[in-house]
Amino acid sequence: MKFIDEYQNSELAKGLAREIANHSTKPIRLMEFCGGHTHAIMRYGIRQLVPRTIEMRSGPGCPVCVTATSDLDKAIALAGLPGVIITTFGDMIRVPGSYSTLQQAKAEGADVRVVYSTLDALEIAKANPKRSVVFIGIGFETTAPTIAASITKAYQETVENFYVLSLLKLTPPVMRALLNLGEVKLDGIIGPGHVSVIIGSSPYEFIPKNHNIAFAISGFEALDILLCIDKLVRQIESGHPKVEIAYSRGVRPEGNAKALELMNEAFEVDDANWRGIGVVSQSGLKINEKYRRFDAEKAFAGLLRFAPSDEPASESKGCRCGDILRGVATPLECKLFGGLCTPENPVGPCMVSSEGACAAYCQYESPRDSENSGGRI
Amino acid sequence: MCLAIPVRVVSIEGDEAEAEIGGVKRRVSIVLTPEVRVGDYVLLHTGYAIGVVDEAEAEETLNLLEEIARLSEVHR
Ligand code: SF4
């Protein structure tokens, strides 16, 4: 396919890998923010293509994974209300809350439907005027404008029975929080490609400026990621970190103005609770006053029964998702990885989500990779 | 979750477009990319076009990659 195949050319990949090796003189650690990048890195064997002195860590960029258990409990509680249809992206339904999953709620009689798009959720609302249709709104800035679009469309078309539980999260604030925590020393960050299609490159300026860390935004094909690593290595070697775009066919410095306008129309910035990280101030999006009636949290506040609030939402015992999302550990450091926790029987969200780091490691890590097998493209 | 794939727009009607992905046609909302024209490639994410692919930039990147591959061979 055009704009995909050209970026997987193995000759060019080897050329880029040589170039990186030629320039890289010291051991460095890079973090790929985005779960999509973790998967691409594993799938193409990027870690085997670049010098062993370049260490890669996964970050918090998996929306399903960073959804807090307490927020999942809320979604599951909503599913149990009479007359409610829950609509959600697929990965969410298997993620364990404190007591249950959406899938379990469905087996017990709740109406939970997997949708591909917010447009499908809106159609379900129109087709079922007597029911309340709640969309579980997870995602980052990539997805936020599409959820905003569904809310403004419901407003214009006066769809009275459509609601969104907004669990949307913002990437620059969580990057700032992670860097301020200082638990893991990073030399460079592979910036999220499709988040940046929306927000552009300027929101990341604080990373080189305040933290002296290299930053380059990457696409998702093998050559995109290698080009990004090349740019990061050059920044690090020169001692002049900055913000660069290594995905210029998709990302413009100013982002997508129309998408940003729609986000601002429907949402306001608020604090958000991240699994493994905790509440990060001003790192989420809530539905604003004008569109309040679409806010599931407000509309159903009186009906929801949650666990007593002094009892913290429980995490699965032994699961290190939180550490993995903060870049402190890799999946291989979890004792349950590959044994008690597999994609078939996932213990934590990092294994449930197709974007989770544990799922990526399970799918692609083979004993052969520990030898230098030279990548897979 | 943030997955987006390049698809070619074959027709436009209001804020919807028909796009082609590997021979399969599907409807795509273009409310986020009102500037799109027939023949453009857009990045498709959960039923919405979130951005228009810049073909000139794509070309330039490939040229740069070829250049790097050539030079890295020489320097080895
Ligand atoms: S391997 Fe399973 S239990 Fe371990 S951190 Fe990953 S999801 Fe959690």
Please name each of the domains of chain A with its CATH number. Answer: 1-319 (3.40.50.11740), 321-371 (no CATH)
Q: Please state the domain count of chain B.
A: 1
In this predicted complex, what is the ipTM? 0.94
Segment A326-364, tens digit of pLDDT: 999 999 999 999 999 999 889 999 999 988 999 999 998
Contact between A87 and A147 (Cβ < 8 Å): no
Least CB–CB distance from B50: residue in A36, A63, A198: A198
A137: left (phi over 0), alpha (psi -120 to 50) or beta: beta
Ligand 1 center–CA B15 separation, angstroms: 42
Give the Cα separation of B55 and A4 in Å (integer).
Answer: 13
Sheet holding A132-137, edge to edge: A111-114, A84-88, A132-137, A162-166
Give the Cα separation of A216 and A227 in Å (integer).
Answer: 9
Give the Cα separation of A260 and A146 in Å (integer).
Answer: 11
Least CB–CB distance from A256: residue in B1, B2, B51: B51
Which structure tokens are listed for A80? Answer: 């149990």
pLDDT at residue A199 in the model: 98
Cβ of A337 less than 6 Å from ligand 1: yes
Task: Give the residue ranges of DSSP H helices in chain A.
Answer: 10-23, 35-43, 46-49, 63-66, 69-79, 102-107, 118-127, 144-156, 171-181, 193-199, 206-211, 222-238, 257-266, 296-299, 321-325, 349-352, 357-364, 367-370
Residue A62: closest CA among chain B residues belongs to which residue? Answer: B1
Cβ of A219 less than 6 Å from ligand 1: no
Q: What is the dihedral of CA B33, A283, A358, A94, to 10 degrees?
A: -80
DSSP A217-264: E--SSHHHHHHHHHHHHHHHHHT---EEES-TTT--TT--HHHHHHHH
Cβ of A319 less than 6 Å from ligand 1: yes
Segment A197-231, tens digit of pLDDT: 999 999 999 999 999 999 999 999 999 999 999 99
Q: Ligand 1: which atom is nearest the Cα of residue A341?
A: 2
Give the Cα separation of B2 and B4 in Å (integer).
Answer: 6
Overall average pLDDT of the B15-29 stretch? 93
Phi, psi of A70 (to 5 degrees): -65, -30
Best of A4, A22, A142 to disrupt the B interface (most B CBs within 10 Å) is: A142
Phi, psi of B74 (to 5 degrees): -65, -40
The shortest C-alpha distance from A154 to chain B (Å) reads 14
DSSP H or E segment with residue A273: strand A267-274
Is the per-residue pLDDT at A310 higher than 70? no
A16 touches chain B (CB under 8 A): yes
pLDDT-derived band at A47 (thresholds 50, 70, 90) equals very high
Residue B57: closest CA among chain A residues belongs to which residue? Answer: A249
Compute CA distances A240 → A258, B11, B55, B68, whole Å. Answer: 33, 46, 30, 21
Overall average pLDDT of the A110-132 stretch? 97
By residue count, chain A amounts to 377
Overall average pLDDT of the A273-283 stretch? 95
Is the per-residue pLDDT at A105 higher than 70? yes
The shortest C-alpha distance from B44 to chain A (Å) reads 10
- What is the number of alpha carbons within 13 Å of residue A145 lying toward its C-beta? 29
Is the per-residue pLDDT at A69 higher than 50? yes
Query: Of all protein residues, whose CA lies closest to atom 7 belonging to ligand 1?
Result: A348
**Full residue range of the structural domain in which residue B34 is found:** 5-74
**Domain holding B11: CATH number?**
2.30.30.140
Least CB–CB distance from A1: residue in B22, B33, B50: B22
Query: Quick one: what percent of chain A has pLDDT higher than 90?
Result: 84
Is the per-residue pLDDT at A1 higher than 90? no
Q: Is A316 helix (H, G, I), strand (E, B) or coil?
A: coil
Cβ of A89 less than 6 Å from ligand 1: no
The radius of gyration of chain B from alpha carbons, rounded to an integer in Å, stands at 16
Is the per-residue pLDDT at A113 higher than 50? yes
Is the per-residue pLDDT at A130 higher than 50? yes
Select from A275, A334, A335, A354 the residue to mutate for testing ligand 1; criterion: most ligand atoms less than 8 Å from CB.
Answer: A334
Is the per-residue pLDDT at A194 higher than 50? yes
Cβ of A348 less than 6 Å from ligand 1: yes
Is the per-residue pLDDT at A302 higher than 90? no
Pairing of strands A243-245, B16-21: unpaired
Segment B41-68, tens digit of pLDDT: 999 999 999 999 999 999 999 999 998 8
DSSP A91-125: GGGGS--SS--HHHHHHTT-EEEE-SSHHHHHHHH
User: Beta-carbon neighbour count of residue A293 at 10 Å?
Assistant: 14
Overall average pLDDT of the A179-202 stretch? 97
